[in-house]
């Protein structure tokens, strides 16, 4: 179905006659894009801060919607008048409007795939997302906090109002430390949170707890190893950023461990000891995200030699299409972990990371433009063909 929508040549479709294929595909693109445009309107009304920042996340589907609606109209209106579509007319019509450019089927297909995936998530969520009964506990309060942070961190980073001070956004007029040691301190404390909480809060020895703990600690161990042996650093990181981000990661890891021990029902944890299909899907997503993130970090590391401080547009992998593919794969990793973890807390955390990394990717593209560094004309920020 995605391949059908993605096709550039209607005549290649085995599903519909060539004359009706383009119209049908445009209808699909318009309907799928309309769902995301509706979310853009809700964000523009409900979220605080600059309206253009709230809508920016959904800007690409708006373009796709406009293109496909006009494409449908251009083909259906002549049929209603008893004429052949303009695309099949023998010659130009002087009274007709200038021909529309062909729809961007890459973006249309990606938008449709994202919309269908979102619909599937909403339809299946009650079956594999456990929500703790409301109480003044970590299992109830932390998901609310993460969900509230998602739009706020996006707007903070995307608007450039207060970018967190590491990498190219570190300020020179505040206390800083070398980037390698600062970044190591971001991740190192979180490595020990799951084993520590598991020791302090006893529970049954089940595969569910061991698997979730291995995935979470493995993420932070991998980041520590990359900091020490892969990344090439040429700048500083703000002390405040080091302390605040390290505290956030530590609290998140501790909360995930505590909720798994106290809020996840024992029967659900026991069922997951047999590795249900959803958990297998989560493991696959986690693995793809982990390896994809590591690969693009390696590409970034090979971009410069020791002592080189010049910024360049990265090459290889998904860099020709998006500015931050390492963020894209990290989100796949977090959502894969959420499928294994099964509790609303992990999905709320994945959404919070989506808001933050999407805003950070937006700030990265804006920084390239401010520095007048040439970037690909069709470059997206974090999601191929969409945003």
pLDDT digits (tens, 9 = 90+) for 294-333: 999 999 998 877 666 677 788 899 999 999 999 999 999 9
Query: pLDDT value at position 170?
Result: 86
Q: What is the pTM of this model?
A: 0.70
Query: pLDDT value at position 271?
Result: 72
Query: pLDDT value at position 385?
Result: 87
Neighbouring CB atoms inside 10 A of 55's CB total 17
Beta carbons within 8 Å of 36's beta carbon, 6+ residues apart: 58, 61, 111, 114, 115
Token digits of residue 275: 């590795």
The pLDDT of residue 254 is above 90:
yes
The Cα diameter of the chain in Å comes to 80
Helices (H) and strands (E) in the chain, counts: 14, 2
Q: How confident is the model at residue 293 (pLDDT cuts 50, 70, 90)?
A: very high
- N-term to C-term CA, the chain: 22
Query: pLDDT value at position 211?
Result: 93
The pLDDT of residue 74 is above 70:
no
Query: pLDDT value at position 58?
Result: 44
Query: pLDDT value at position 116?
Result: 58
Q: How confident is the model at residue 337 (pLDDT cuts 50, 70, 90)?
A: very high
99: DSSP letter: P
Greater confidence, 48 or 130? Answer: 130
What is the overall mean pLDDT for the chain?
76
Q: How far apart are CA 247 and CA 191, in angstroms?
A: 12
Q: For the range 149-152, what are the long-range contacts, defined as Cβ-Cβ under 8 Å and sequence gap of 24 or more?
A: 149/352, 149/355, 149/356, 150/351, 150/352, 150/354, 150/355, 150/356, 151/43, 151/47, 151/54, 151/355, 152/355
Q: How confident is the model at residue 177 (pLDDT cuts 50, 70, 90)?
A: very high
Look at residue 210 and give its three-state secondary structure.
Answer: helix
Query: pLDDT value at position 59?
Result: 47
């Amino acid at each position: 179905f995605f391949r059908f929508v993605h096709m550039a040549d209607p005549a290649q479709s085995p599903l519909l006659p060539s004359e009706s294929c383009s119209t049908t595909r445009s209808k699909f693109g318009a309907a799928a894009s309309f769902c995301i445009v509706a979310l853009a309107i809700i964000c523009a009304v409900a979220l605080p801060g600059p309206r253009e920042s709230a809508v920016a996340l959904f800007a690409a589907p708006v373009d796709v919607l406009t293109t496909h609606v006009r494409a449908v109209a251009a083909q259906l209106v002549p049929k209603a008048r008893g004429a052949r579509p303009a695309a099949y007319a023998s010659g130009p019509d002087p009274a007709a409007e200038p021909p529309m450019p062909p729809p961007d089927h890459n973006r249309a297909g990606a938008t449709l795939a994202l919309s269908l995936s979102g619909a599937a998530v909403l339809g299946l969520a009650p079956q594999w997302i456990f929500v703790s009964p409301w109480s003044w506990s970590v299992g109830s309060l932390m998901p609310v906090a993460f969900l509230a942070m998602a739009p706020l961190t996006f707007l903070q980073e995307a608007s450039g109002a207060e970018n967190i001070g590491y990498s190219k956004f570190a300020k020179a007029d505040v206390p800083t430390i070398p980037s390698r040691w600062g970044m190591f301190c971001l991740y190192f404390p979180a490595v020990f949170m799951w084993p520590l909480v598991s020791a302090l809060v006893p529970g049954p020895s089940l595969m569910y707890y061991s698997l979730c703990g291995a995935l979470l600690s493995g993420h932070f161990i991998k980041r520590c190893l990359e900091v020490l042996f892969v990344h090439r650093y040429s700048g500083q990181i703000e002390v405040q950023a080091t302390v605040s981000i390290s505290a956030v990661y530590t609290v998140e890891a501790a909360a995930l461990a505590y909720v798994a021990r106290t809020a996840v029902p024992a029967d659900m944890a026991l069922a997951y000891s047999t590795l249900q299909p959803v958990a297998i899907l989560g493991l696959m997503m986690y693995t793809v995200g982990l390896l994809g993130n590591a690969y693009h970090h390696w590409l970034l590391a090979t971009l410069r030699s020791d002592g080189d401080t010049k910024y360049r547009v990265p090459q290889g992998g998904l860099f020709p299409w998006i500015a931050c593919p390492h963020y894209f794969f990290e989100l796949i990793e977090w959502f894969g972990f959420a499928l294994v973890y099964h509790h609303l807390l992990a999905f709320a955390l994945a959404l919070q990371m989506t808001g933050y990394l999407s805003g950070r990717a937006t700030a990265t593209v804006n920084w390239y433009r401010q520095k007048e560094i040439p970037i690909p004309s069709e470059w997206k920020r974090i999601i191929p063909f969409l945003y």
